[in-house]
Structure 1
Amino acid sequence: MSGSPSRVALVLGAGGMLGRAVTETLERAFPGTVSATRWEVDVTDRFRLDAEVERLRPDLVVNCAAYTDVDGCEIDRDRARRVNAEGAENAARAAAAAGCPIVHVSTDFVFDGRKGAPYSEDDPPSPLSEYGRSKYDGERRVAAATPEHLIVRTSWLYGPGRGNFVDSIRARARNGGTLRVVDDQFGSPTYVADLARALHHLVLRNARGLVHFANAGACSRYALAQAVLSVSGMSHVRLEPIRTDEAGRIAIRPAYAALDTSRYASLIGEGPRPWEEALRDYLDADRSRAGGG
């Protein structure tokens, strides 16, 4: 798929952190990009979605729509299923009817974290939580709906917006007191801007199937919090490491869910940059946006 004013990419879930980043990235290469928030096109409303795709006749559909509240998915399992599984299938079927490929974004939570090493695309999923189960169900439905699919799993996403771990640590640090952070969950922190660019690179290469993307390396939640505070000039804030079972969460999290990005590197010709470098770029850019505050 080459950049051209006549080509249209439809981004679903464009109101979220990832959707905004993907829209911004694609707009530069594909001026015909159309962003659709949940209020404009809800993936759970199959008839409205079909009508919008039929009207636009896009050359590409990117599904960033998801219910990502991991604990919330345990409480409202119906919503998790409708958005993450049925909604994904609706988007894939609509793309198939329009004769275009779909890019669907999934998660490291499809794994149970017991492998103890980075997960490749060939490792069998075994989700522990309702969020992970609903996302894995969505993957299978997308793959069954159309052969013209690209499913990209990512992990520990952060960027401009609300509700991500990196911004939560900074906000809590500003409020004062000791921060209690789990030190027995390991993963691959991923800057949303890097993921958006990765999706663009994969689209340009007409990639299909399943691909993992995350910034290179792995760390614990505790180590990530330490890095956030260090780069933000808040190293004086006290951190207290705790176990996951002390955190009071509802959903079970995978203990080690770092992703092996070798397939991505082979497709693109280079691997993702280190998570530490990406984190510094995000925090530096965020300070610039805030006027140095």
Structure 2
Amino acid sequence: MKLLLLGSTGLLGRAVAEEARQRGHALREAARRNAEIALDIADEKALRQVLATENPDMIFNCAALTDIEACERNPLDAWRMNARPLAFLATWARESGGKLIHVSTDQYFTEGDGEAHDEMTSVSLVNEYARTKFAGEAFALTAANALVLRTSIVGIRGWEKQTLAEWAIDVVLNDRPAQLFADAWSSSIDVGNFARAAFDMAGADATGLYNLAAGEVYTKEDFVREIARQLDLKLTTATSGSVRGLATTRAHCLGLDVTRAETLLGRELPELPEVVASVLHRYNEISAHDLRQLAPHRNA
């Protein structure tokens, strides 16, 4: 199968590319830079040209403007990256009969604390990121053969700005002072497990809207402390905090109910300990140092 991967150089795109190659797909990778196809999906003409030239069987869209503050500062840029391209991708899917997989977000819920929200739960769009991603979902779902996946991901990138997981590992290894959000709930899944499950769902001919995330709702603080637990380290300077003090309003009750995805897959999705174990394993793979050597037994 010829697969066109949009946003191939991002955190999730790299994991999807790796999974695609393992499954034997004829992979073509597109991104704004450092990819075999140079493409800014906000450029409508360029996007149309790539679709016509590549003629893929499947498009996997991981491209997005995910910086919430940047979306607030530049709402037009957010629209041009997170929403408008999906109109063209959906048209391609309808006209070609090809499969469209679109990665959405969990940034839609402001009530319920640790509640797991299913696909039918009403959304609250409190910032430009959420508004434009929700519009992108709507465009994508106009194609009957589109699969839209709401999620939150964690993983190791190893370059540019630290990911949440890289920041958390640094906090734990160095016992750094940090504010850990005790009221920011999510079901974040590691990128490797997400990619495997997404391709399995596509192989099962899934269409429509699905939650694809961890099988457990937990807080950002829980995530950091689970890293510390698995490394057998203590956090002596980290404190609990609240997302309500952040400059940009954010949805914070982001747990996702993954029952429909688990039913389709015929297996349970990973809970927090497995997510963290996968993240640490990947960190070991790409780090110049092994975590087991770096982690001193400060608990002794």
Fold shared, TM-score > 0.5 on shorter chain? yes
Q: Deviations over 1:119-159 (max 9, x none)?
A: 11111222222111110011011112x2211000002x111
**Structure 1, unpaired ranges of 5+:** 1-6
Moved more, 201-210 or 123-132: 123-132
Distance 1:284 1:193 in 2: 11
Counterpart amino acid of residue 158 in structure 1? V
Select which of 273, 276, 282 maps to 2:273.
276
Q: SS of the counterpart of 2:141?
A: helix
Residue by residue over 1:181-203, the C-alpha shift from the partner in whole angstroms, topping out at 9 and shown as x without a partner, is 22111111210111111111011
2:284 to 264, 272, 287: 287
In the other structure, the counterpart of 1:4 is none
The total of aligned residue pairs comes to 283
Q: In structure 1, what is the Cα distance between the partners aligned to 2:15 and 2:40?
A: 19
Check conservation: 2:93, 2:146, Cα contact below 8 A. Answer: no
C-alpha change, 1:224 and 1:96, in structure 2 (3 Å) is same
70-79 or 12-21, larger mean C-alpha shift: 70-79
State the Cα distance separating 1:213 from its structure 2 match: 0.9
Please state how far the C-alpha of 1:259 moved relative to its aligned partner.
0.4
SS in 2 for 1:279: helix
1:183 maps to 182
Which residue of the partner structure matches residue 263 of structure 2? 266
Find the counterpart in structure 2 of residue 55 from structure 1: 53
CA contact (8 A) 1:74 1:250 kept: no
- Aligned match of 1:103: 101
| Contact 2:110 2:124 survives alignment (8 Å) | yes
Q: CA RMSD in A?
A: 1.9
Residues 58 and 13 (structure 1), Cα distance of their counterparts in 2 relative to 1, 3 Å cut: same
Secondary structure, aligned partner of 1:231: helix
Q: Contact (CA 8 Å) 2:109, 2:252: kept in 1 or not?
A: no
Please say if 1:148 is aligned against 2:142: no
Tell me, in whole angstroms, the C-alpha distance in 2 between the residues paired with 1:36 and 1:44. 13
Which shifted more, 69-78 or 193-202? 69-78
Deviates more, 1:159-168 or 1:187-196: 159-168
CA distance in structure 2 between the aligned counterparts of 1:29 and 1:64, rounded to whole angstroms: 18
Shift of 1:175: 5.8
Percent identity between the two aligned chains:
25
**Any idea what the Cα deviations from partners look like across 1:20-77, whole Å, max 9, x if unmatched?**
1111101121331111112312211122112112122111011100111112211121
Residues 8, 267 of structure 1: alpha-carbon distance in 2 compared, 3 angstrom cutoff: same
Cα distance in 2 between the residues matched to 1:111 and 1:128: 9
Q: 1:74 to 1:268 in 2, by over 3 A?
A: same
Match of 1:255 in 2: 252
Tell me, what secondary structure is at the counterpart of 1:103? strand
- Tell me, in whole angstroms, the C-alpha distance in 2 between the residues paired with 1:288 and 1:46: 38
Aligned-partner residue type, residue 56 of structure 1: E
Match of 2:156 among 154, 160, 167: 160
Q: Which amino acid aligns with 1:119?
A: H
Residue 112 of structure 1 contacts residue 126 of structure 1 at CA under 8 Å; is this kept in 2? Answer: yes
Q: 1:225 is matched with which residue?
A: 224
Q: Deviations over 1:53-104 (max 9, x none)?
A: 2122111011100111112211121111110011222332233343312000
The answer to whether structure 1 residue 44 and structure 2 residue 38 are counterparts is: no
* Structure 1 Cα separation of the partners of residues 249 and 273 of structure 2: 26
Supply the AA of the counterpart residue of 2:65: Y
Question: Distance between the aligned counterparts of 2:114 and 2:154, measured in 1?
Answer: 23
Shift of 1:257: 1.3
Where do 5+ consecutive residues of structure 2 fail to align? Answer: 292-300
